[in-house]
A and B are shown apart, each in its own frame.
Chain A
Amino acid sequence: MAQANQAAGAALPAADTFDRELWLKRALILLVSAWLVAVVILPLIQLLSKSLFDNHGVFVGLANYVEYFTTPELRRSIGNSVFVSVTTTVISVTLGFLFAYALTRTCIPLKGAFRGLAMMPLFAPTLLNGIALIYLFGRKGLITRGFFGAIPGFDIGLYGSTGIIISEVIFTFPQAMLILSVALRMTDARLYEASQSMGASRLRTFLTVTLPGVKYGLISAIFVCFILAFTDFGAPKVVGGQYNILATDIYKQVIGQQNFTMGAVVSVVLLIPTVLAFVVDRIAQRRQVALIQAKSVPLTPKPDKQVDGFYLAYCSFISLLILAFFATAAYASLVKVWPYKLELGLWHYQFRGTGGGGYGAFFNSVRMACYSAVVGTAVTFFSAYLIEKSRGMRALRQTSYFLSILPLALPGLVIGLAYIFFFNAPGWTFGGITIPNPFNWLYATMGILVLSNIVHFYSVSFLTATTALKQLDKEFETVSESLGVPFHITFFRVTVPVCLPAILEIAMYYFVNSMATVSAVIFLYSADIPLASVAIANMDDAGDIAPACAMSMLVVLANVAVRLLYGLLTRKVNRRTQAWTRR
């Protein structure tokens, strides 16, 4: 009997034991890893190695670093960068915490409106933060001149660290607020009841329950704010004046002095704290996972006249500031000659007589943002699906996961510069063998711009997709396998429709950020593909602040329009989803 069976086993046609699906998935995950290595690791290696060669391609070891650290003007930027980022972080996280607290733990009205207004800065290029500040606090600013001479004005000394810090606070505040809102919403109500039942004072409850409860959210917010402020380049470029920081140094070295080597050195210096922050944040996140899994009771805030009154005043104040900020920018973009001819009109929206590319640049940006949204969302979601929903191949999946969240640590400027080096290289020579660069054709095309955006905003999108996918039953794939249905059919028939809200969110995120970003693309755009955000920077350089402001407003408008479209689509999707869930 046993022999007969073995014979039968041996006679099995090979096709029956070959798991096509499994191999296909393996191949695809391998492909995902390979693509991430190609667009993240290899360019970074190229950047690192560039910093070890001189401008003529001669290997000089750490000589460039020695030169960097012995040049006082360059070295001073490190201290400056740290100073503005730390100050920004402290202010932003404090303001963001209060705002998030108001939205999650009090009974104030208009929460939706407050939240919406607080998120406004996410839709704007950071260059706009600088430009709006110039219109408020610059030499001819609204406040400096006391509302065109109506009241006595005062000069805050905008240019320099003050301007940078204010811009970065505006830029990072929404991020801190969002992260902390999530953390505050997750805390367990039972802890508060226990604390109150023991008669603990408000301060004591805050110190022993609230703060520890949001510990990981706080860590995350601190690092995100720090990294964003540390690596942002838009606002410091506009209002930094003579105050040098690392991000502007890279730009000056590369674009101003064509000193690519020193640009690479500064990039590596810029990378060190961001990579550190990334590592610490990852560790904190991992701890937090364990925290969420415990069953907790959501907290429902109780009305309290005094507390609600305070937070209502606070949120109104912050929202008004943000509103005033954008209103000033909008107004300034419409005024004929600030501050002398205050007639309103669309002069600056014609972009005549200024460089930058005008509407051509704007529509290039829209195109680029669309491509990034479509391609980026598809690639991100499918990769996250493969990594999250495959069986076995643990090592490979973990590697891919790590590679997917690594871009979180990479500032846009670093990506941009690394891409110049990597995609512009004609080829590489290892021990006498020259390999031509297979990606060289991408250089100076729309493709490289889209690619840099996808990589720049990859990690957050990837994490959004992974979170959504984790909520699906992990046996969906097994069931379809057992029914002999190929995984791609289940992917399109079940996974995608069920995850549609997350997919829309990712697409919106890609669009909005690609539209507003300047740091990566400023190194990569070519003269025949001008971009809106680059145009803003260039017009600002040329002193054409009003058109720069107008272009920024166009970017904001496009982003707000997409955000509204997203809201509409989401509502539609939710209505359909409710059809599945209506009892």
Chain B
Amino acid sequence: MTSTESETYLSVERVTKRFGAFTALSDVSFTARRGEFLSILGPSGCGKTTILRAVAGLEPQDEGVVRLKGRDVSTMPVSKRHVGIVFQSYALFPNLSARDNVAYGLRKDLKDRRALAERVDKLLALVGLEAAGNKYPSQLSGGQQQRVALARALALSPDLLLLDEPLSALDAQVRVMLRAEIRALTQRLGMTTIMVTHDQEEAMTMADRILIMNQGRLVQNGSPSDIYEAPASPFVASFIGSMNFVSGDMHWDSRTFHRGNLSVKIDRDVSPFGKEAVAAIRPEDIRVSTNGEAGPNVFEVEVDNVEYRGPVYRVTMRLPFGGGQTLPLVADITADQARRTGVSGRTRAKAILPADRVHLFRAEA
């Protein structure tokens, strides 16, 4: 037994879940340390809610094991797992005040009314709703309802907090504010949390670790920067941020990637696989130049369009690779860069693809 293993707080091992003939989860494994904030990210219908429900005990898995604090809880009903859950709809009881909603699970343990009131006050203060306790859910704003749901889920000091798209029903500004609040709160309480989301920005800013799912499988598990910097597949790369892809051949000896008469130097630590490969680069990693720069990975391009996007400009280009054929390429450059280079649509320019910023993926069948 090693020390890293003993820190494992939640472990999901090879969980598979089927609905009839449809496999909603196949062979999903991951772990969480105490106090860690995990975010599950993936396209609609990929099984995010299903894995959350399996961890909660609401949708028992067909195969695999869920362990919480070292105990196998696979067959335990949700009522015994000590998990707090916040649903996308919040599911606040409409006929009970915010206080009574928060107190809902406490009543059976705290018979003393004074102690109950104190505990509820504490919970409401925790989520910053001291003044709104006597209001009914429909009298609260979306953000406030969200907080009541959070306080209710935290009332029994659960071992694990599960959030299913908790912010998706809110408008953009409240969302950004609550992100920070939820994160601060779970940190303060040392609460191990799993949050399902659609929103990559939400996952990137809140989570210690992101799990990317696709079609019932876990496709990557890593810190936000790992996933952004080293996506495991073109799917992940395009799901988190955006990415230019080019398929072609890889010459491993010279570490160059070829497509037509194009050759791109790649300076990244990739262990060799086959010849067919996909090279990729993020738009913000491409530099655009209008002076006569030369050297490796500097390519002549035709600029089609320069689009103003607030903090950045998006440059849409075509990269010729011989025989009159071109590849589409987009770059995001700062306003400052755009001014200095004076790049504009229907002109020629140079695109520089830094060798250490080019990703390489196995070509997918």
- The answer to whether A391 and B58 touch across the interface, beta carbons within 8 angstroms, is yes
**Tier of interface size on chain A:** 35 or more
Given A494-B93, A498-B95, A581-B136 in contact, is the A482-B67 Cβ separation under 8 Å?
A: no
Q: Does B80 contact A (CB under 8 A)?
A: yes
Contact assessment for A483 and B104 in the assembled complex, using a CB-CB cutoff below 8 Å: yes
A143 vs B213: C-alpha distance in the bound complex, in angstroms? 80
Give A581 to B140 CA distance when docked, in angstroms: 10
In the bound assembly, the distance between CA atoms of A497 and B95 in angstroms comes to 7
Q: Would you list which residues of chain A between 470 and 509 have a CB under 8 Å from chain B? A: 473, 475-476, 478-485, 493-494, 497-498
Across the interface, A12 reaches (CB within 8 A) one of B72, B78, B85, namely B72
| Measured CA separation A583–B107 after assembly (Å) | 27
Answer yes or no: A70 CB below 8 A from chain B CBs.
Answer: no
- Interface contact B79-A482, CB-CB below 8 Å: yes
Q: Which chain B positions have C-beta within 8 A of A22?
A: 77
Q: Would you call A8 and B139 a contact (CB within 8 A)?
A: no
Residue B76 interfacial (CB < 8 Å): yes
- Is B71 an interface residue when CB atoms closer than 8 A count as contact? yes
A21 and B72 in contact (CB under 8 A), knowing A478-B91, A479-B152, A483-B104?
no
State whether A484 touches B138 (Cβ < 8 A). no
- CB-defined contacts of B152 to chain A, threshold 8 Å: 479, 483
Is residue A4 contacting chain B, with contact meaning CB distance below 8 A? yes
Check if A6 is an interface residue, CB within 8 A of chain B: yes
Most buried by B among A4, A16, A391, A582: A16
A16 touches B95 (CB 8 A): no
Asked whether any CB of chain A lies closer than 8 Å to the CB of B89, the reply is yes
Which residue on chain A has the smallest CB distance to residue B89?
A: A473
**Which residue of A is nearest B5, CB measured?**
A1
> Using a CB-CB cutoff of 8 Å, which residues 244-284 of chain B contact chain A?
none
Shortest distance in angstroms between B324's beta carbon and chain A's nearest beta carbon? 49
A304 at the interface (CB under 8 A from B): no
B80, A483: Cβ atoms closer than 8 Å: no
Name which residue of chain B comes closest to A498, CB basis.
Answer: B95
Name the B residues within 8 Å of A582 (CB-CB): 138-139
Query: Contacts A1-B1, A482-B84 hold; do A494 and B96 have CB atoms under 8 A apart?
Result: yes
Residues of chain A within 8 A (CB-CB) of B93 are 476, 493-494, 498
For window 1-55 of B, CB contacts with A under 8 Å fall at 1, 5
In the assembled complex, B155 has its CB within 8 A of some CB on chain A: yes
The complex places the Cα of A337 from the Cα of B281 at a distance, in Å, of: 102
Q: Is B70 in the interface zone, CB < 8 Å from A?
A: yes
Q: Would you list which residues of chain B between 154 and 203 have a CB under 8 Å from chain A?
A: 155-156
| A9, A21, A484: the one within 8 Å of B108 (CB) | A484
Min CB gap B32→A, angstroms: 15
Min CB distance B255 to A, Å, is 41
Which residues 78-102 of B have a CB within 8 angstroms of A? 78-81, 83-85, 87, 89, 91, 93-96
B111 CB, nearest partner CB in chain A, Å: 15
Cross-interface CB contact of B72 among A5, A18, A19, A579, cutoff 8 Å: A5
CB atoms of B136 and A478 under 8 A apart:
no
Digit string of A552-583 for contact with B (CB within 8 Å is 1, else 0)?
Answer: 00000000000000000000000001011111
Q: Contacts A473-B89, A475-B89, A475-B91; is A481 near B78 (CB within 8 Å)? A: yes
The reply to whether the CB of A293 lies closer than 8 angstroms to some CB of chain B is no
Does chain B have a CB within 8 A of A17?
A: yes
Give the docked Cα–Cα distance between A12 and B152 (Å): 28
Q: Residues of B contacting A476 with CB < 8 Å?
A: 91, 93
When C-beta atoms are compared, the residue in chain B nearest to A479 turns out to be B91
- Mask of B311-347 contacts with A, CB within 8 angstroms, 1/0: 0000000000000000000000000000000000000
CA distance A478 to B72 in the complex (A): 21
Task: Determine whether the beta carbon of A4 is less than 8 Å from that of B1.
Answer: yes
Question: What A residues does B136 contact at CB under 8 A?
Answer: 579-581
- How close is A410's CB to chain B, nearest CB, in angstroms? 34
1/0 per residue, CB under 8 A from A, across B224-246: the answer is 00000000000000000000000
Given A473-B91, A478-B91, A581-B138: A484 in contact with B79 (beta carbons within 8 A): yes
> Which residues of A are found within 8 Å of B137, using beta-carbon distances?
580
- What is the CB-to-nearest-CB distance from B268 to chain A, in angstroms, rounded to a whole number? 35
Q: Which residues of A contact B94 (CB under 8 A)?
A: 498, 580-581
Contact among B87, B95, B105 with A484 in the assembled complex (CB-CB below 8 Å): B105
Q: Which residues of chain A are within 8 angstroms of B76 by Cβ–Cβ distance?
A: 12, 16-17
CB contacts under 8 Å to B, within A65-93, are none
A285 CA to B137 CA, complexed, in Å: 34
Quick check: is B75 within 8 A (CB to CB) of the other chain? yes
**Which B residues are CB-close (under 8 A) to A498?**
93-95
Query: Which of B65, B76, B79, B107 has the most chain A CB atoms inside 10 A of its CB?
Result: B79
Question: How far does the alpha carbon of A516 sit from the alpha carbon of B353 in the complex, in Å?
Answer: 86
A6 to B72, CA, bound (A): 7
Q: How far is the CB of B146 from chain A (nearest CB, A)?
A: 14
Q: Is the CB of B87 within 8 A of A9?
A: no
Q: Which residue of B lies closest to A2 (CB)?
A: B13
Cβ-based interface call for B212 (8 A) = no
**Inter-subunit contact A483/B105 (CB<8 Å):** yes
Choice from B5, B74, B75, B87 contacting A478 with Cβ under 8 Å: B87
A391–B108 Cα distance when bound, in Å, is: 24
Q: Shortest CB–CB separation between residue B138 and chain A, in angstroms?
A: 5
Using A481-B77, A484-B156 as known contacts, say yes or no to A580 and B138 having CB atoms under 8 A apart.
yes
Bitwise, A397-415 to B at CB < 8 A (1) or not (0) is 0000000000000000000
**For the complex, is B56 an interface residue (Cβ under 8 Å from A)?**
yes
A479 — which chain B residues lie within 8 A by C-beta? 85, 87, 91, 104, 152
Contact with B along A115-136 (1 / 0, CB 8 A): 0000000000000000000000
Given the known inter-chain contacts A5-B67, A498-B95, A580-B138, please indicate yes or no for A483 contacting B89, CB distance below 8 A. Answer: no
Which of the listed residues A483, A497, A582 has the most CB atoms from chain B within 10 Å of its own CB? Answer: A483
Q: Once the chains are docked, how many angstroms separate the CA of A19 from the CA of B77?
A: 6
- How far is it, in angstroms, between the C-alpha of A472 and the C-alpha of B137 when the chains are bound? 14
Q: Which of chain A's residues has its CB closest to B137's CB? A: A580
**Beta-carbon contacts of B132-150 to A below 8 Å, as 1s and 0s?**
0000111100000000000
Question: CA–CA, A577 to B95, complex, Å?
Answer: 8
Inter-subunit contact A478/B85 (CB<8 Å) = yes
Inter-chain contacts of B67 with A (CB < 8 A): 5, 9
The 3 closest A-B pairs by CB, nearest first: A483-B105, A9-B72, A19-B77
Binding site for A on B (CB under 8 A): 1, 5, 56, 58, 65, 67, 70-72, 74-81, 83-85, 87, 89, 91, 93-96, 104-105, 107-108, 136-139, 152-153, 155-156
Given contacts A4-B70, A582-B138, A582-B139, 19 further A-B contacts (CB under 8 A): A1-B1, A5-B67, A5-B70, A9-B71, A9-B72, A12-B71, A473-B89, A476-B91, A482-B83, A482-B85, A482-B153, A483-B105, A483-B155, A484-B108, A579-B136, A580-B94, A580-B136, A581-B139, A583-B139
Residues of A whose CB lies within 8 Å of any CB of B are: 1, 4-6, 8-9, 12, 16-19, 21-22, 391, 473, 475-476, 478-485, 493-494, 497-498, 577, 579-583
Q: Could you show 21 A-B contacts with beta carbons less than 8 Å apart?
A: A4-B1, A4-B70, A5-B70, A8-B70, A9-B67, A9-B74, A16-B80, A18-B77, A473-B87, A475-B91, A476-B91, A476-B93, A478-B58, A480-B104, A483-B155, A484-B105, A497-B95, A498-B93, A580-B136, A580-B137, A581-B138
